[in-house]
Chain A
């Protein structure tokens, strides 16, 4: 089986590193060979931020992902040369013709766990589910930082437990918000992520 390849696409400050680090650590704890590379722009706060993650049971040579099995899209700043089989996106970030799903991760983080930061863990949970990664609580405990560990595990499990029916219930097709786009605009303008969530949600 070729390596599983994932790209996490966002802007600086959005949680790309949190999701990438946590998933890579979890997979490493589970005994996988893992490569995780961050590619980011140095020019301004809120510039593009990408994580290229590959995992396999064999050592991985080419760690630059150009054809991803799954893309997690928190903002649409990603590599122009990237192709993908499946997209997990925050709302309004799917492109025409793409196969995937839209879930308002940051807003769910606020609604379900009180902070936008947990939206990253919800996205991670959904990613683990889509990739069919069969982890245990012990794996999570070893991989996650000790701070907020219970909340993070709960958020990951919440994301992992989402199915198509529950996603549809959260995001009715006719009512897809532009939350993520507004959130990315706020972050790009220099607003702190927590405030950006509030401002983006307020305009809904």
Chain B
């Protein structure tokens, strides 16, 4: 056992190395820059690991697509407007079927916004940021140890789904230092099976709709639909193996709180009053799991660092009213949550029993 202080961004880098990553391309942007910095240092001491600081995020995202096609498990890390710039490349990766990992350490947007403040406002962008229909697999851990663990899962899911997989984090989680024993986290690594370029055979890497023989299929709806459902069904099937979530707190409560990432941790002192559902796989949504659990509760509250992005998803999924506690402007705190609960008339009035309070402080 080697318990030590580890930063969230550092844990992502260590998880990537554990998963077998051998190429990082990126452009520094707060609050993700420590991942880039650590990747550069790691590359300096490990010649098998390649690093490049690109001129911007467009180049970075395209570089990891190229790196992956060339045979390297590849990743990048960014935030805010950098994630926006990567969207076209992400769409290309989905179309062509390129495994890679994009880490988005969320801050308050839109645009430059509040660069060092935590937000959770990129959830929809992580799902719908590029053009057209595609199936994103997205994870969002909530502890430093989980940053390590779910980075490995993200690489595994990317290899299995042959698509860009997104690991969400945020300014608080990325910069959080926490005692963790990463040696105890044992996630089997999915090896690279995709043959690299120039290893023989023929393969198409076209963003344009094509037939298997390479001829353009830009006006053939049947072929497009066949390929679309094939890739969608494959990725949904892969995602099923990664249906990570947490269900806990006071399951006897009549109210279910849905919170993820750092909001789940900040809301912990309310554990005696509410049940909790925490999606770790943010996309595809955990419809089966949440629908089954939500049916046991009279009320549902979504606490999140955006103005209802996930609450809207839950409402549509469950076809019932969902209460919202949006934490905006980087103000991620228990006090802000209490104010939000008070505003919707759902702030617990009675103090929790002493035993529950003790558990809630953990």
Name A's B-contacting residues (CB within 8 A).
2-3, 21, 24-25, 28, 31-42, 56, 58-64, 66, 81
Q: List B309-362 residues whose CB lies under 8 Å from chain A.
A: 332-335, 358, 361-362
B237 within 8 A of A: no
Could you pull out 19 A-B pairs where Cβ atoms are within 8 angstroms? A3-B361, A28-B4, A32-B179, A34-B179, A36-B177, A37-B172, A40-B116, A41-B116, A42-B30, A42-B116, A61-B265, A61-B268, A62-B265, A62-B334, A63-B172, A63-B176, A63-B265, A64-B172, A64-B266
| Pair B172/A28 contact, Cβ less than 8 Å | no
> Which one of A41, A59, A64 has the greatest number of beta carbons of chain B within 10 Å?
A64
Cβ 8 A contact of A35, one of B3, B4, B114, B176: B176
Closest to A3 in B: B361
Q: Bound complex: CA of A56 vs CA of B361, how far in Å?
A: 10
| Pair A37/B175 contact, Cβ less than 8 Å | yes
B217 within 8 A of A: no
Cβ 8 A contact of A36, one of B5, B30, B116, B362: B5
| Pair A60/B116 contact, Cβ less than 8 Å | no
| Known A3-B361, A61-B362: A37·B266 in contact at CB below 8 Å | no
B71 within 8 A of A: no
| Pair B334/A34 contact, Cβ less than 8 Å | no
Closest to B178 in A: A35
Cβ 8 A contact of A24, one of B114, B175, B177, B269: B177
User: A37-B175, A42-B115 known; 6 other A-B pairs, CB under 8 Å?
Assistant: A28-B5, A34-B5, A36-B5, A63-B172, A66-B335, A81-B333
| Pair B266/A62 contact, Cβ less than 8 Å | yes
Q: A56 to chain B: which residues have CB within 8 Å?
A: 362
Cβ 8 A contact of B176, one of A2, A36, A41, A58: A36
| Pair B268/A62 contact, Cβ less than 8 Å | yes
Q: Bound complex: CA of A24 vs CA of B175, how far in Å?
A: 14
CB distance from B103 to the nearest CB of A (A): 19
Q: Bound complex: CA of A64 vs CA of B114, how far in Å?
A: 18
Q: Bound complex: CA of A21 vs CA of B6, how far in Å?
A: 11
Q: A62 to chain B: which residues have CB within 8 Å?
A: 265-269, 334, 361
Q: Bound complex: CA of A2 vs CA of B333, how far in Å?
A: 18
Q: Bound complex: CA of A56 vs CA of B265, how far in Å?
A: 16
> Which one of B5, B267, B268, B269 has the greatest number of beta carbons of chain A within 10 Å?
B5
Cβ 8 A contact of B5, one of A25, A38, A42, A59: A25
| Pair B362/A59 contact, Cβ less than 8 Å | yes
| Pair A64/B268 contact, Cβ less than 8 Å | no
| Known A28-B4, A66-B335: A34·B268 in contact at CB below 8 Å | no
> Which one of B177, B268, B361 has the greatest number of beta carbons of chain A within 10 Å?
B177
Q: B334 to chain A: which residues have CB within 8 Å?
A: 62, 64, 66
Q: Bound complex: CA of A71 vs CA of B162, how far in Å?
A: 50
Question: What are the 10 A-B residue pairs with the smallest beta carbon separation, nearest first?
Answer: A61-B268, A36-B177, A42-B115, A42-B116, A2-B361, A28-B5, A62-B268, A61-B265, A37-B176, A35-B178
Taken residue by residue from 117 to 149, chain B's Cβ proximity to chain A (1 for < 8 Å, 0 otherwise) reads as 000000000000000000000000000000000
Q: Bound complex: CA of A38 vs CA of B8, how far in Å?
A: 12
Q: Bound complex: CA of A62 vs CA of B5, how far in Å?
A: 17
| Known A42-B115, A64-B266, A64-B334: A28·B30 in contact at CB below 8 Å | no
| Known A37-B172, A59-B362: A64·B332 in contact at CB below 8 Å | yes
Q: Bound complex: CA of A3 vs CA of B175, how far in Å?
A: 20
Q: Bound complex: CA of A28 vs CA of B269, how far in Å?
A: 24
Q: Bound complex: CA of A192 vs CA of B177, how far in Å?
A: 27
Q: A58 to chain B: which residues have CB within 8 Å?
A: 362
Q: Bound complex: CA of A77 vs CA of B268, how far in Å?
A: 27
Cβ 8 A contact of A28, one of B3, B114, B267, B335: B3
Q: Bound complex: CA of A32 vs CA of B178, how far in Å?
A: 10
Taken residue by residue from 228 to 269, chain B's Cβ proximity to chain A (1 for < 8 Å, 0 otherwise) reads as 000000000000000000000000000000000000011111
Closest to B6 in A: A28
